[in-house]
Amino acid sequence: MILQKYKIVFAGNMGAGKTEAIQSISEIPVLSTEAFNTDVSSHQKMLTTVGIDYGEITIDQDVKVGLYGTPGQSRFDFMWSIICDNSLGIILLIDHSLENSIEELDHYLSVFQKLGQNIVIGITHVDEEKDKPTYIYRDWLKEHQFINPLFFVDAREKEDILLLVESIIANAEVNLVS
């Protein structure tokens, strides 16, 4: 049996859960390029992706999807276009617990829209900032006339990440028919 292979990219700010998301759904051990975080002014996490994370998932019986995680730091932005090339879509993860999460959404969405049109947004770490409203993302998207699907997810939860993947696939199918 020949497996058809597609690529979905996980992008977003450092600490948003890209590596965790890929690990939560990958059917193979994830190839991870995490190293000790030397940019503690940006995020206090111990490890951070410095290359490409890679996992795989099979959709249906004959469609294999490669899951590619980008590094979140802007100093690695030279890799983003290479990773996004020929992708089915981009799952943009934004860390809700950051003070400037709307600015992060603005930055990453404007960058990755140049690299692909099929972008689904997942807001993570909502459980860590319960007093911070979540409607700010919907309001911001509406104000800027973006129609990207928006979900509030836990990157550790397989069902949450599968919802994002299914949304990417559904958007791609709609765009092929249009």
Task: Report pLDDT digits (tens) over 143-159.
Answer: 999 999 999 999 999 99
Quick one: pLDDT at residue 61? 79
Comparison of pLDDT for 49 and 59, the residue scoring more? 59
pTM: 0.88
DSSP the chain: -PPEEEEEEEEESTTSSHHHHHHHH-SS--B--EEE---TTT---SEEESS-EEEEEEETTTEEEEEEE---SGGGGGGHHHHHTT-SEEEEEEETTSTTHHHHHHHHHHHHHTT-S-EEEEEE-GGG-TTS-SHHHHHHHHHTT----EEE--TT-HHHHHHHHHHHHHHHHHHHH-
pLDDT at 45: 53
- Give the chain's domains with CATH numbers: 4-177 (3.40.50.300)
